[in-house]
Amino acid sequence: MNQVCRPAGPAMPQPSDNRSELVRTYKIWQGSNIFALRGRLIFGPDARSLLLSFLMIVPPVGVFCTFVARKLMDDFPHHWGVSIMIFAIALTVCNVIFLLLTSARDPGIVPRKNHPPESEDLGSRRGRTEEVEVNGMRVQVKYCETCMHYRPPRCSHCSICDNCVERFDHHCPWVGQCIGARNYRFYFLFVSSATALCIYVFAFCWVYVVRIMHGEETTIWKALIKTPASIALIIYCFLLMWFVGGLTVFHSYLISRNQTTYENFRALYDHRANPYNKGVLGNFKEVFFSPIPPSKNKFRAKVQKGLDFPSRRVNGSVVNPITGRANMDMEMGMKPSRIEWELDRPMGELGDIKEGSERGSLDGFEKQINDADVMEEPGVEPGVQSR
């Protein structure tokens, strides 16, 4: 039988494998953060300073255990001598763990929106504030131009990490991370355990010097010469004690008043009542015994690769709202004459926080932030450096 050959038509389109287009959120995160272990750990942009902090803790303790604690083991009864070294090592391990818990977790990043509220024009929003009620007091919240939402109370935008952070305290260069609602507890434990470690090493170095002085019936200066490691550790711990000890005392005061470093430096409650103050015991209970709020970001969630992000124009320069970068940054003080927002394809919507504030309550803010199911990102207000 003769077969009729027909011209081949266009090939049928093959269904695309959506799974091949999905990537982890942390891989396309446009902010300043550094991720490790496939998005399980999140660091600030200056995470290298973490290595410096580690080197300031572990090697000096190694010197102490080798040249001081080991010698004291022979001068004290067996169990007491061993306990000197064991306690030094245990305190060091705790200090390093608190350092990592502070540096390697989400400090409380508030997800940024993909587009500004459509109910208002942007020109009238510059410098806009809203008021919400916290514990019976009216609290003012500001609109974040980079993250395109009204910041929750006590939230501020760190210019180093490029994030809005809940209960923003400061950006600490020694841990390379913002200090906020989710890591402040561990930050305080880090500086306080570092203070305890300095005092411990400092004290037992002097104990060793005194043992030499009495054992050889010599002067304190000759005893010091016989143990140069003790001299170095005494000087080092004395200097470091002023720094970490000062931070411990300062933050103990802040906790007792339920203030953040950011609020204290700006003297926000010098002339008005602090709506967050629950009394000394209540404030310490809130910091150390209240549940740590869950992260509002799903860094390991899979999102579709290649989504078009909305953009904004500032004097003709296109700005990606995820990066918050432009030739002229509005939050750095520039005043563009014309601002156009392009919202051709919004990725998903996180309800305008302002809408939740119309009732004048904090609940509207928290509810709409928690409803965010899409990838949201970081943001640019001066961060307070730790001293």
- 247-270 b/e with 16+ CB inside 10 Å = b? bbeebeebbebbbbbbbbeeeebe
Query: Are the C-beta atoms of 250 and 240 separated by less than 8 Å?
Result: no
SS3 319: strand
Query: Are the C-beta atoms of 269 and 263 separated by less than 8 Å?
Result: yes
Distance CA 108, CA 167 (A): 8
φ and ψ at 334, to 5 degrees? -75, 145
Query: Are the C-beta atoms of 380 and 159 separated by less than 8 Å?
Result: yes
Out of 172, 178, 198, 237, which one is annotated catalytic? 172
Distance CA 33, CA 37 (A): 14
364: which DSSP letter?
A: H
Distance CA 131, CA 354 (A): 10
7: which DSSP letter?
A: -
Distance CA 117, CA 40 (A): 32
Q: Which two tokens stand for residue 318?
A: 């296109």
- 344-381 b/e with 16+ CB inside 10 Å = b? eeebeebbbbbebbeeeebebbbebbeebebbbbbbbb
H helix intervals, 120-227: 184-215, 220-225
Has 172 been annotated as catalytic? Answer: yes
- The residue whose two tokens read 């910041």 is 151
Residues with catalytic annotation? 172
